[in-house]
Structure 1
């Protein structure tokens, strides 16, 4: 993130608590009464179409984060001027109406104190618009004259009128008598084989990548009645996890990582081994009736601006090449993009092995590593996991750290992040997803400062131990912790699953080199200050490039040049180009961890469906 944007998204929340002794009788109303009074007045003002009247119920430092309810994009507006300018030309067309409080459950109106000096009444509500319905969150603060105003508003479209997801009461019939034309034209299995091969129709959406992004999105789109073809270069569904390093497990707990429509079983482990997750992906694709072509890549792709559609040639190993004409392409190859693989002077003279962390399988692959000197360059999740893997197989391991890393324990701090929301006793996942994305991202950063401090206090022994052996801890910009690092950089943190204690105990060494690497000799890695580290193996855990590089490699420069860079934040504080318009018509990026893929696949599917239904104006 550019320094100016980083500063822009580093905010301080106002002190809006009132002297308890000065509270009036009116303010002693219940949270439900306060919420209902405000929402009723807000609804009336929305109906009037008077923008000035509407913003009169919003705090002068108010925020409104919108996901598709007010426009076909993600927007975060701060301050009355920006909110007014945004609403003025669209309010009458949007038709925001029928706002209703969620009266029971975890998101019924209640008083919260997110930080010292800031109290608000928080509640979820449902609403309708001219094109659909949705859910939102309001957070009200008390101002002088016994008045409550919205400090934080969120609106998120969840369904299009006339195009509900085919779930629950609307689930398919499934019996032979429900088959179009009758069973004589094919039973379910026979029809599935034709559907997978797209013998009778063109796919509306081509999804490139059959990982958590592509599978979640495919399931969402098909539930909206859109045909999808998912292609992947690997041999089997799930290979994007199955082929990664042998000891990998998910770093997020199971309650946070459910997939759309099909949560993990109640006896599923908290953290999922990679091969188990890969097998689940295969089960998921089958259960969701997704049309997946493996061992397939894009040979060429061309977009017609006149027809607003694609022509794509797909190479299929073992099958004839196919040309398909989808309306949309979604790149679901992972938000990290291509591996960043640096090269250094003298590297070709090095007698040992050098490889990128993305190529790591297991320390046991190849020669016996017992007693060998291994240097892991980088101290993120992969770097730690790889270092631990080599140590456990008898190697002498050093990690090269260039800048500070945020460390949080999977045993303690990670569960503090999700407590009350994504845990065994949390609310329905669909509501948790709305709530979890309801605060503007810069506000989440600000609130995470206090949470990061509480996690630090709970994990102080680890932090002190790491610092004593020379490991640099970085708590993130403004001390905001892991989320800011993830959403802006996609890295710079380690969720500890065992390597921290090995470092504290001196079993894995840490070497500091702020200026990086100078080069190689035959037997060593040379640091920028001239120090040499003897090495038999050097692993470059140096991260990944922008996802736009994957697009360039897959679809070519002409298409990639029209797109924006992906990830990090724009000026308003929304993620660039991901799950939203990319800059190129009918081309989308989809990525993130399992939880983000579940949550945002719904919003991306709605955008694609709305485009197909003519609701999105060009």
Structure 2
């Protein structure tokens, strides 16, 4: 279809949809969707994120909310990348961005249209997303002249920092990529936020990992808010470059961060004043603060998880969790067993071979989804192409309801197997058990539901196929002898080093150590999908007032930090209470 036809068809559909929205014509809105169409809503019709599939659910959802929202000024978005075009999801669909307003907000959306049985264009997906509260839009760039050009920037910055340190509206726990994206977003939303980081330097959460670590997704996927990487930045970012970038990012975004700091047990919430009382150990000095909100941005993962092993004290070798792995050089000439077959295990096993371990054995307890970095990069570049602003790519990506995305990806299961056929054949021959996610959707289900159970291959598979990394499959570690690990089938493996790449507890369980079980039990589970396919617990009300979880990868915090900021700002303005 010619591009001008895209524009005509999208405009005609949007005109009808807009008329129904603006007149609160419920049946008109519902009839704009295909029978199996989806509405994904972020903060427009309720102060939450929801995904509704099918006309009946959409009707029920909008029944008591449509009129009150007062949608107006609905227009096609002709910004680059958002104007009417062929849908990236389906070649016979049309997609386009649009803008609108509500009684209190400015909104931005994206829709995908397909034809119904009569050949009329109807919505397969409509995404409606709050981007700003009226009169409280993001700050944007400052003029750079202060006090009528009489104040030095250093003095201005110091004064701002002092105010935040004395009375932060929000405390963000964790200065990893999640905490930094949230803090940068909050600063632009004029929400005074203090970041608490346990490490000595911003970026140490990456510096302390194994030296050869490189992100397996391309730079377009893992960029930060407001500050793109230089054009000559590596496509796949190495550990130390990322760590240094994060440290510089914190400075350039004027974030207020206390390093060598952590909240002490047990913060108390006053339901009358709606403030926390929290003691921060700041490099050995205890400081009491009274924020309205605390954001736990320490990632999806909590404390390292170990299997329950017998005779641990008998073993004369070295054992530790993969989170403590700092490189394979100390294990040259050693017999190493790595328990687990996910991403971390694959990277560690590969590094151990390169560093000269005598033998490396990966123990796979169940099955794993393995995708080559090349195949994944091709998929990611489709969603986040070079040259496209991240905010445009993110809007398009988050227009997908996750359950629909999983359904559509499941239909392509055989394509995923075929894309890495040679690699998979080598792994199967070596004894690895493979899957393509719980429903055939590949990494999509595993990332969203488990945040594990897969690896993105950057060379480990070739070493396994070549016999340089050996496999032991379908067993659980049970106990130790002096020089071996014993499995539940009675078999043993001689070992000098045993590394447990066995995952982590939930951030929610780990948070109980600081906040106490009573407080954390009030909150939602974190990560995984709810019944509508929305991520549980993250960037949405947790169930306990003033307590929020930030989790997921760069994309999650880059996009959904806005949702969290808008809800916190709405609470401050008296528009809503959680």
TM-score range, shorter chain: over 0.9
Pick from 103, 108, 111: which aligns with 1:130?
103
Q: Which residue of 2 aligns with 1:140?
A: 113
Q: Secondary structure at the match of 2:336?
A: strand
Q: Which residue of 2 aligns with 1:9?
A: none
TM-score for the superposition, normalised by structure 2:
0.95
Pick from 21, 40, 43: which aligns with 1:68?
43
Provide the C-alpha distance between the structure 2 equivalents of 1:156 and 1:238, rounded to a whole number of angstroms.
Answer: 31
Q: Once structures 1 and 2 are overlaid, which stretch shifts more, 277-286 or 137-146?
A: 137-146
Provide the C-alpha distance between the structure 2 equivalents of 1:134 and 1:66, rounded to a whole number of angstroms.
Answer: 11
Provide the C-alpha distance between the structure 2 equivalents of 1:500 and 1:199, rounded to a whole number of angstroms.
Answer: 49
Change (3 A) 1:213 1:442: same
Q: Which residue of 1 aligns with 2:362?
A: 399
Pick from 239, 242, 245: which aligns with 2:207?
242
Q: Secondary structure at the match of 1:348?
A: coil
Change (3 A) 1:380 1:194: same
Q: Which residue of 1 aligns with 2:487?
A: 527
Deviation at 1:47, TM superposition (A): 2.0
Provide the C-alpha distance between the structure 2 equivalents of 1:204 and 1:446, rounded to a whole number of angstroms.
Answer: 41
Mapped contact 2:341–2:368 kept (Cα < 8 A): yes
Provide the C-alpha distance between the structure 1 equivalents of 2:508 and 2:3, rounded to a whole number of angstroms.
Answer: 53
Deviation at 1:391, TM superposition (A): 1.3
Provide the C-alpha distance between the structure 2 equivalents of 1:104 and 1:525, rounded to a whole number of angstroms.
Answer: 60
Q: Which residue of 1 aligns with 2:326?
A: 361
Pick from 556, 559, 566: which aligns with 2:519?
559
Mapped contact 2:321–2:499 kept (Cα < 8 A): yes
**CA deviation profile, 1:559-613 (whole Å, cap 9, x unmatched):** 2121111000111110100111111111110121122221211222122112212
Q: Which residue of 1 aligns with 2:153?
A: 188
Mapped contact 1:127–1:134 kept (Cα < 8 A): yes
Matched, 1:154 2:127: yes
Pick from 522, 538, 551: which aligns with 1:591?
551
Provide the C-alpha distance between the structure 1 equivalents of 2:564 and 2:244, rounded to a whole number of angstroms.
Answer: 26
Deviation at 1:243, TM superposition (A): 0.9
Q: Which residue of 2 aligns with 1:413?
A: 375
Matched, 1:611 2:571: yes
Deviation at 1:364, TM superposition (A): 1.9
TM-score for the superposition, normalised by structure 1:
0.89
Pick from 38, 54, 59: which aligns with 2:13?
38
**CA deviation profile, 1:42-93 (whole Å, cap 9, x unmatched):** 1111122231232122222121111112211110111222111111111111
Mapped contact 1:195–1:291 kept (Cα < 8 A): no
**CA deviation profile, 1:207-261 (whole Å, cap 9, x unmatched):** 0001111111111111111111001111111111111122211121111111011
Matched, 1:538 2:498: yes
Alignment of 1:233-272 (within 5 A): 233-272=198-237
Pick from 243, 250, 266: which aligns with 1:278?
243
Change (3 A) 1:451 1:146: closer
Change (3 A) 1:251 1:178: farther
Gaps in structure 1 of 5+ consecutive residues: 1-19, 21-26
Deviation at 1:394, TM superposition (A): 1.6
Mapped contact 2:87–2:112 kept (Cα < 8 A): no
Pick from 119, 143, 167: which aligns with 1:202?
167
Q: Which residue of 2 aligns with 1:466?
A: 427
Deviation at 1:451, TM superposition (A): 5.0
Q: Secondary structure at the match of 1:66?
A: strand
Alignment of 1:200-349 (within 5 A): 201-299=166-264, 300-318=266-284, 320-349=285-314
Matched, 1:96 2:96: no
Deviation at 1:174, TM superposition (A): 2.2
Mapped contact 1:59–1:149 kept (Cα < 8 A): yes
Deviation at 1:353, TM superposition (A): 1.1
Provide the C-alpha distance between the structure 1 equivalents of 2:207 and 2:178, rounded to a whole number of angstroms.
Answer: 16
Mapped contact 1:298–1:555 kept (Cα < 8 A): no
Deviation at 1:102, TM superposition (A): 2.5
**CA deviation profile, 1:117-140 (whole Å, cap 9, x unmatched):** x83222221121112112212122
Q: Which residue of 2 aligns with 1:493?
A: 454
Mapped contact 1:351–1:523 kept (Cα < 8 A): yes
**CA deviation profile, 1:253-276 (whole Å, cap 9, x unmatched):** 111111011111111111111111
Deviation at 1:428, TM superposition (A): 2.0
Q: Secondary structure at the match of 1:307?
A: coil
Mapped contact 1:209–1:232 kept (Cα < 8 A): yes
Provide the C-alpha distance between the structure 2 equivalents of 1:352 and 1:588, rounded to a whole number of angstroms.
Answer: 42
Deviation at 1:157, TM superposition (A): 1.0
Change (3 A) 1:28 1:607: closer
Change (3 A) 1:241 1:98: same
The number of equivalent residue pairs is 576
Gaps in structure 2 of 5+ consecutive residues: none
Change (3 A) 1:42 1:380: same
Q: Once structures 1 and 2 are overlaid, which stretch shifts more, 398-407 or 386-395?
A: 386-395
Q: Once structures 1 and 2 are overlaid, which stretch shifts more, 356-365 or 196-205?
A: 196-205
**CA deviation profile, 1:158-200 (whole Å, cap 9, x unmatched):** 1111011111xxx212223358xx63xxx33234334434478
Provide the C-alpha distance between the structure 1 equivalents of 2:313 and 2:120, rounded to a whole number of angstroms.
Answer: 71
